[in-house]
A = this chain, B = another copy of it.
């Protein structure tokens, strides 16, 4: 497509382009906008500049005519014969900051618009943001603001521009792409920020005919269970099927066990086959060798089972793509919900339903966790139990051959026991469906994503076989859709109480570590609470004369537990403080054990102890851990959760 045809197409959808006019080979060029640039439009001339086929700064129609003749001479002198099929385009030369709009067709998110700093600096600063085709104006604005260059549009230094002009432009691009479905790639670079608004002055578009996306199936609820069955329940304690059956015993509904050998397990009948099972089983958890699974699922479907949870490995992750596809086709055929294969299982606090082969050390709570790695999930569950954190739902998605993150977020939104949703993501199948679910979610969504670097993409690929996209794109699209991306895996479970922290107060017996801690807190986007006159007066009454009268509240190196206690009694009531860090360093008089005892108490604000320095404070650290107090021995880890 020629540049002028492309401009026609863009103009049709109200995408503003620089004034332009196209001329035939023999036509006399004439325009009423100056200065202009004149270029040849011919498939025979690819490198226009090198062929002398671009003329700039033309200020009159006489110059324009002369420029056309000169271009013809230049091109023909290089051995290219021009004819009536060749044309010329004159475009008005504008001045303004160079911005960028573009579109990519991403494997995970589909067609996605890019916005950022344009020109040669696009590649250098990579200051871009990502805009979903489905984003509304508010989401477009959040997206645009995530590129630094957007500040230029926000009346930067009184330049007088408004961010609305970029939102308008993005909406026009959305419309252009939706109404031209064969557009598969696009670069408007630069789009100039002129006194008259944004204007595209160069365009490159790629067209490609692609089949339509398959639409998603309508799902029934995966989490609604009255009867469950364990297929492959085993009496051998070294078998996974034993652990699942044991965990399933706590279920408040009915749990049935199936094993071809028959007999009894934990005082319950072992049904010899699926057809023997009672009717109306909602969910079957399957832990049998991979080769028997297809047949078993057929039998389950015929018994009207709605959900299957395939624990067994032996599919995509060991290279059997064919086997996994058969599994997908089967659950599609019978409209089943499937979790797995190759997963740890699923837990629902409400009803005490534990269909995992992991530890039964799980507390009921209000956080839902969905994880694409069983090992990461096991570590999180372990950490949670240690810190008395409970879950409403735990789902190990394994190979994620059927239900994916978007489905689960939708379903978790219908679960009253779930208050927030935490996801450990390696890769997504359908990013667009996930964005749609995230936009509608009434519950906050926290995400830790791995596969950020090229090298770990390789690691993730060999692991679950899912393709990880570009992390920056993932992060920005999801943030614009309302999700929170985390930097630390443990923040997935510690998150909810700490997410609201705005202002922190530090009580310390040393200035240096408090200064380091302050840096880390600020780096996380949080603030150091500023003491009021009254705060200072209250602390003056109990602290040595040389305390610095500022937060961090340095209670001086000779502080012992009594001074920590008096200080905490006062600062716990400071209005505006959301979190108190208590820093203890081993100094000459420090009674670390007694300070730790003190920190076991219930205070009016969340208090996070940091015992800096391993050896001398080990007893105190151990005491805190043994009592399930969230505490740290390094400053960095203590703030990674913010």
Contacts and interface: CB of A to CB of B under 8 A. Distances in A.
A67 B220 CA distance: 77
A462 B511 contact: yes
Given A376-B516, A511-B462, A518-B459, A156 B124 contact: yes
Nearest to A372: B512
Nearest to A521: B455
Contacts of A124: 148-149, 151-152, 156
A588 interface: yes
Contact of A451 (B450, B515, B557): B515
A22 interface: no
A462 B127 CA distance: 38
Contacts of A373: 510-513, 515
A490 to B, nearest CB: 7
Interface string A498-526: 00000000000111111110110111000
A417 interface: no
The 3 A-B pairs with the shortest beta carbon distances in the complex, nearest first, are A373-B512, A375-B510, A463-B511
A557 B374 contact: yes
A359 B613 CA distance: 12
Contacts of A452: 519, 522-523
A268 interface: no
A463 B385 contact: no
Contacts of A127: 125
A49 interface: no
Contact of A376 (B455, B462, B510, B634): B510
Given A152-B120, A511-B460, A616-B359, A522 B375 contact: no
A386 B634 CA distance: 14
Interface in A100-144: 117, 120-121, 123-125, 127
Contacts of A614: 382-383, 386, 625
Contact of A636 (B379, B514, B549, B637): B637
Contacts of A527: 455
A359 B514 CA distance: 22
A366 to B, nearest CB: 21
Contacts of A454: 522
17 contacts: A123-B157, A318-B545, A374-B512, A375-B509, A375-B557, A376-B512, A378-B585, A379-B513, A379-B586, A379-B613, A382-B614, A382-B615, A426-B515, A453-B518, A456-B515, A459-B550, A489-B516
A451 B519 contact: yes
Contacts of A379: 513, 585-586, 612-613
Interface in A206-247: 240, 243
A156 B518 contact: no
Given A124-B148, A450-B518, 9 more contacts: A120-B152, A123-B157, A373-B510, A382-B614, A386-B614, A451-B515, A453-B519, A463-B515, A634-B637
Contacts of A489: 516, 635-636
A548 interface: yes
A260 interface: no
A361 B317 CA distance: 51
Q: Which of A97, A454, A515 lies at the interface centre, i.e. has the most chain B CB atoms within 10 A of its CB?
A: A515
A117 B243 CA distance: 62
A552 interface: yes
A391 interface: no
Given A361-B615, A462-B554, A557-B375, A317 B515 contact: no
A459 B585 contact: no
A357 interface: yes
Nearest to A159: B120
B587 A375 contact: yes
Interface in A388-430: 424, 426
Interface string A352-366: 000001010100000
Interface of A: 97, 117, 120-121, 123-125, 127, 148-149, 151-152, 156-157, 159, 240, 243, 317-319, 357, 359, 361, 371-376, 378-379, 382-383, 385-386, 424, 426, 450-456, 458-460, 462-464, 488-490, 509-516, 518-519, 521-523, 527-528, 545-546, 548-550, 552, 554, 557, 585-588, 612-617, 625, 634-637, 640
A599 B416 CA distance: 46
A488 B521 CA distance: 14
Contacts of A149: 124
A97 to B, nearest CB: 7
A596 to B, nearest CB: 16
Contacts of A515: 373, 426, 450-451, 456, 459-460, 463
A149 B121 CA distance: 8
A452 to B, nearest CB: 4
A528 B151 contact: no
B512 A552 contact: no
A372 B515 CA distance: 12
A382 B613 contact: yes
Of A125, A127, A243, the most chain B CB neighbours within 10 A belong to A125
Contact of A588 (B357, B552, B588): B357
Residue in A148, A519, A528, A587 with the greatest tally of chain B CB atoms within 10 Å: A519
Pick the most buried of A359, A383, A426, A634: most chain B CB atoms within 10 A of its CB. Answer: A634
A375 B240 CA distance: 50
B518 A455 contact: yes
Contact of A458 (B458, B510, B550, B617): B550
A57 to B, nearest CB: 10
Nearest to A376: B512
